Amino acid sequence: MSGNDIVVLGRLADPYGIRGWLKLHAFGDDPQDWAEMPVWWISRDGESWRECGLKSLKVHNNGLVVLLDGVDDRSAAEAAKGLLVGAPRSALPIPEEGEFYWSELIGLDVINTADEKLGKVAGLIESAANSVLRVVADDETERLLPFVASVVLDVDKEVGQIRVEWGSDW
């Protein structure tokens, strides 16, 4: 499966315990629903995606831990740390109005209310309060804009544009 067909859902983080469990850093809402997916896809940045079975997913403290096929001990979990977790776009539910998969936002032009182009969305960052758009201009200027209604006024995927309330000199 090509990388364009896969939506990145999260990243495997630190090992948890000695039996192969890994902490999961989710990039979206409702990661517990991912337990219903029969197959997960995993990859390192820039490498090919490969299928991986999910043995178990459970809530632990304020996060999630997962146990994957072929990851049976702490050494294997340490080797899997940093792998991206994804799913084919066709396996995911259609987002509700006003909701977006992060991959849909990357590459969109960011335009402010004065019609100034601030750059393109280069990535998103999950913070405790809200998601943050990482916007990079042609001159490599980087801006971090909170993905909240008071800043992000409109997302038009068809036009390829996000309209924001944000000054070019901020």
CATH number for the domain that contains residue 110:
2.30.30.240
More confidently predicted of 62 and 82: 82
Residues 82 and 107 in one domain: no
Give mean pLDDT, residues 91-116.
88
Kindly state the tokens that stand for 75: 């050494």
Residues 15 and 83 in one domain: yes
Mean pLDDT of the chain: 90
Give mean pLDDT, residues 22-26.
92
Residues 86 and 107 in one domain: no
Q: How many domains is the chain built from?
A: 2
Q: How far is CA 116 from CA 52, 162, 166, in A?
A: 44, 12, 10
Kindly state the tokens that stand for 25: 């850093």
Pairing of strands 117-126, 131-136: antiparallel
Report the alpha-carbon distance of residue 52 to residue 10 in Å, rounded: 14
Say whether pTM exceeds 0.75: no
- In this predicted structure, the answer to whether residue 2 has a pLDDT above a threshold of 60 is no
Burial (CB < 10 A; 0-12, 13-18, 19+), residue 5, is middle
Which pLDDT score is estimated for 29? 66
What CATH number is given to the structural domain containing 46?
Answer: 2.40.30.60
Which pLDDT score is estimated for 115? 97
Report the alpha-carbon distance of residue 153 to residue 157 in Å, rounded: 13
Q: Which residues contact 31 (CB under 8 A, 6 or more apart)?
A: 9, 10, 24, 57, 64
Q: Residue 153 is part of which domain span?
A: 102-164
Query: Left (φ > 0), alpha (ψ -120 to 50) or beta: where does 20 sit?
Result: left
Q: Is residue 59 part of a domain?
A: yes
Which pLDDT score is estimated for 37? 81
Q: Is residue 124 part of a domain?
A: yes
Which pLDDT score is estimated for 102? 82
Which pLDDT score is estimated for 27? 79
Burial (CB < 10 A; 0-12, 13-18, 19+), residue 22, is buried
Compute the half-sphere exposure of residue 61: CA atoms within 13 Å on the CB side of its CA: 5
Q: Is residue 70 part of a domain?
A: yes
Closest CA to 10 of 78, 81, 71, 58: 81
Q: Is residue 21 part of a domain?
A: yes
Which pLDDT score is estimated for 104? 87
